[in-house]
Amino acid sequence: MESSAEDKELQGVSRESERPRRFEVSPGRVYELRLLLQRIEISQQDQEMSRTPVYAVFRDRQGRRLDPRLIQGTPVIGDQDPMSVETLPPCELTEAVLAGGEASRFLLAPPGAVELELEGWGDSTALRRAALLPIAVLWHGPEGERFADQVGRITALRRGLLERTLELGKGSRAALKVLEEAPRQQIADLRRYFQPGGDWEPVIETLGEGAEREDFRLRMDRLRAQVETPPRLGFIGSERGYERLAGISEIFWLRESEAEAQIDLFSLEIIVVETVPTSGLNKEDADWLLAFSALDGSLPERGARLFEAAEAAGIPVHLWATGAPEIAPLWREAARRADRVLAEVIGSEGQDWAPIAPDVLLPCTTEPTACSVARQSPPPADLMLVPTASDICQYPDFAEFVDTPGLYATLLTEFRYRFTPLILSQRLSQTDPQIYGEHTRAEERALLVSARIVLLPSRSLRPDAELVQIAVDAIASGAIPVLWGMPRTAAPQLEMLDRVFSPTDLMELQAAYRVTWVRERRWRALYRQVMRDCVWTGTHREALLGRDPCGPKFDRPHTSVVLVTKRPHLLHHCLETFRAQSWDNKELILIFNTGEIPEDLPELAENERAFALPEAANIGECLNRGITQAKGRYWCKLDDDDFYSTTYLEETVYYYRSAQADVVGRRSVYFYFAGEDATYSREKFAERCGSLMTTGSLAGAALSMDRRSKEVPFSVMDRNSADTHWLLQLHHKEIRVYSADCTSMIVYRSADETTHSWRLSADSKKMEQFRRRTTGNIFELPVAERLTGDLSSEMSGGAEAMQQRLEAFRHLSEAVEMAQL
């Protein structure tokens, strides 16, 4: 059968119905989109090229369209939404035409994106080819420069090839200009976006000032003051172990030369010996822990003396096994002599501690009051910490990975082994790598709290238990740990982390975490998991110390929500917000500032109470009355119309435990304007989030206070600024105020702003601070469990894409030569 004219025209090219219009994508990844568009009006005689609008629509898992401004206030890459794509005229699709006519565009998948869909062209245009390829390029380095040059040469070749094969006239100039300039401009946009930043020097300069150490002591003193009956504890172990016990006990380091006298002098209730290589006390006693273990599992005489002295004084000794289970055989006799043996486990490691037959298994935990989110000043941007520098000397592939310049300034240090900075620097090609040598545990905490990302290798000299310790400490300090490679074990604390496999992965992840709402939401998810699963509860404290010194209300303090409203029609929203909170030990104090409780008030639960005050009472008086009715340790003010995450109360309680603050609040950074159905942000206000405050304001809709602190009532005179004056009083009285996250609460502005006390849109100076972030409410966007996953297969596709580009370059060169012949 003879082929039709149209079949001949499409020979070697799939029909449009067979071409994909949808592609799977990963958030934060750069893609090259290759398209071949052609007009299909067969009757048209001219051979001129044209331009076609094409929309690259990213969607989330719920199928919702994502705005490219989610990454920045303006799209990162130009010529998008829609893209203007060069389009072939009706012509025979020879090899030369196919080689020259395939358009190339570059896209950056926004946060939350899982799918790309192509839209836009009409019935008069056909999609002949479509492919989406991940691009693995370090845009800010020489590789990005070479890639840009390559793209420039290929587009020039494409233009020359089409001009020779199609004999294009003046009508094609606009399309040819788009063909050549659009990819070049997009590459330039990407190179600007992926620019390095950050500087560790200011952090290093402040480490010797001791501000973090002083605040650590203050936090521990405040935590200890809440403990009902702190035990007198003798301790032999690490500095990290010491800080986990210091806030819940009167703890004394035991010295080898003075242990027997200390036992008699301090009236100790219990002695805890931690199974770590060296003691954190001082150089003189650094190797005392070697007195409790031996290669054959026996108990050296030095260690036996401590057990004998404790037994003579009637003091129980608990052996606290932390770190690697592989050391268990060395502690067999010490475990037999101990009154109780406790082993910390990750995942299913319990059986690995069998040689010491632990009586109790404990989870691997952190102390959030020690590794605190309470920074002394706003956190610096674009800093990455590598706390496992010794692995760089042992694993060449990790050394090569770390040696590749990224977007964040990288500081190399070592949290366990001693190392020589000079030797380490010789293993790296960077001319001036930032390396921080010998340091204290206090300085480790200061480095963690300053880092945005903490990079950990999956292959390491240290066991996974120690990697987990660093990871949970980093999260408790406000940083996001990232794992290079696949975890060696099924430790849940490592499996939940973002994973990177190449410098490009890391570069794109670093760029994503420059976006405030992406980084903060990801960290908050990690923080909740750590606070739920990796912090001691009463059961754990009782097992380790023989009794729980903190009391039954310590772990889950009662929390009161005080909500004042003049708008009964919003009552459903108020109740829904309160009832959806994940923190179950809560109560609601509902104040109707209307003079009466509505007749149609829904039936309230046992932990919900309603009151009424006259409309003449200002917000301050309403809050004061509500607070006096509150029974919880903390009161939290919620507004009747704003958006609050379901974990808002839970995270507030966690912030109090970590920062040991009197007041925890949030700054109003994100606003939803119902009239426009759009979210705006004030990014500069996000800079103060995650730090202690001595000046400045917080959102009135996000105030809370520990009722054990000094009582500071709200003004009953100020009509619209009671919260501002309340904060001024706090700062004047030097009350400890912590500014928490900025994404668990979003301010709502209705289309009719006369219903709000603060008429924002009428304040032109205030509105200058805002940038439109996205259409719709950013609060509804889902957050991925991990921003990255096992990307090895996709990145192999990225490498293939680079190879295909080189092949395309060669084929185009050959096609040009053939056209010239």
| pLDDT tens readout for residues 50-92 | 999 999 999 988 898 998 888 887 888 888 889 999 999 988 8
**Contact in structure between 626 and 564 (CB atoms under 8 Å):** yes
Q: Does the pLDDT at position 797 exceed 80? A: no
Q: Which pLDDT band holds residue 13 (cuts at 50, 70, 90)?
A: very low
* Res. 804: pLDDT tops 70: no
What is the model's pLDDT at position 10?
A: 40
Q: What is the mean pLDDT of residues 413-424?
A: 84
Class of domain 556-780: alpha beta
What is the arithmetic mean of pLDDT over 304-330? 95
Tell me what pLDDT residue 18 has: 46
Q: State the pLDDT at residue 431.
A: 61
Across 1-23, average pLDDT: 50
Query: Do residues 370 and 243 touch, judged by C-beta distance below 8 A?
Result: yes
Confidence bin at 99 (pLDDT 50/70/90): confident
Phi, psi of 808 (to 5 degrees): -60, -40
Side by side, the strands of the sheet bearing 125-134 are 103-108, 30-39, 125-134
Out of 317-326, 577-586, 774-783, pick the least confident. Answer: 774-783
AA identity, residue 685 = F
Cα–Cα dist 524/530, whole Å: 10
Is the pLDDT at 798 greater than 60? The verdict is: no
pLDDT level of residue 42 (50, 70, 90 thresholds): low
Weakest mean pLDDT among 8-22, 525-539, 563-577: 8-22
Query: Is 553 in contact with 675 (CB distance < 8 Å)?
Result: no
Does pTM surpass 0.75?
A: yes
Q: Is the pLDDT of residue 477 over 90?
A: yes
Q: Looking at domain 238-363, which of 3.30.1490, 3.30.2310, 3.30.450, 3.40.50 is its CATH number?
A: 3.40.50
What is the rounded average pLDDT for all residues in the chain? Answer: 88
Q: How confident is the model at residue 47 (pLDDT cuts 50, 70, 90)?
A: confident
Percent of the chain with pLDDT over 70: 90
pLDDT at position 12, please?
39
Residue 494 is encoded by which pair of tokens?
């490592």
* Alpha-carbon dihedral angle through residues 661, 665, 667, 671, given to the nearest 10 degrees: 160
pLDDT of residue 805 exceeding 60: no
What mean pLDDT comes out for the span 496-520? 93
CB count within 10 Å of CB 314 equals 6
Please give the pLDDT value at position 432: 66
Q: Where in the chain is the domain with CATH 3.40.50.2000?
A: 383-535
Span 706-727, average pLDDT: 88
739-767 per-position pLDDT tens digit: 999 999 999 988 876 665 566 666 667 77
pLDDT one-digit tens code per residue, 206-244:
987 888 889 999 999 999 999 989 999 999 999 999 999
d(CA 391, CA 463): 12
Q: Confidence class of residue 811 from pLDDT cuts 50, 70 and 90?
A: low
More confident residue, 161 or 651: 651
Q: What is the CA radius of gyration of the chain?
A: 32
Which of 671-680, 772-781, 787-796 is the most confident on average? 671-680
Closest residue by Cα to residue 637 from 568, 566, 720, 701? 701
DSSP state of 368: T
Q: Are 177 and 184 in contact (CB under 8 A)?
A: no
Topology of 383-535 in CATH? Rossmann fold (3.40.50)
Give the model confidence (pLDDT) of 151-200 as tens digits.
999 999 899 889 888 888 888 999 999 999 999 999 999 999 999 999 99
Angle at 619 between CA 613 and CA 623, to 5 degrees: 75
- Give pLDDT, residue 794: 45
Q: Is residue 800 pLDDT above 60, yes or no?
A: no
Q: Would you say residue 429 has pLDDT above 90?
A: no
Give yes or no for a contact between 370 and 220, defined as CB atoms under 8 angstroms apart. Answer: yes
Query: Region 541-569: what's the mean pLDDT?
Result: 95
- Per-residue confidence band for 122, with pLDDT thresholds at 50, 70 and 90: confident
Mean pLDDT to the nearest integer, 18-43: 85
The letter for the amino acid at 348 is S
Task: Tally the residues of the chain.
Answer: 821
Question: Contact 81/55 with Cβ under 8 angstroms?
Answer: yes
Beta bridge partners of 643: 746
Q: Would you say 64 and 99 are in contact if contact means Cβ atoms under 8 Å apart?
A: no
Give the integer Cα–Cα distance in Å for 308 and 312: 6
Lowest-confidence region among 537-546, 760-769, 804-813: 804-813
The DSSP output letter for 90 is: S
Residue 795 in this model has a pLDDT that exceeds 50: no
| 112 closest CA partner among 56, 55, 81, 66 | 66
Residue 423 has pLDDT above 90, yes or no: no
Statement: residue 433 has pLDDT above 90 = no
pLDDT tens track for 268-291:
999 999 998 877 777 777 788 889
- pLDDT score recorded for residue 814: 58
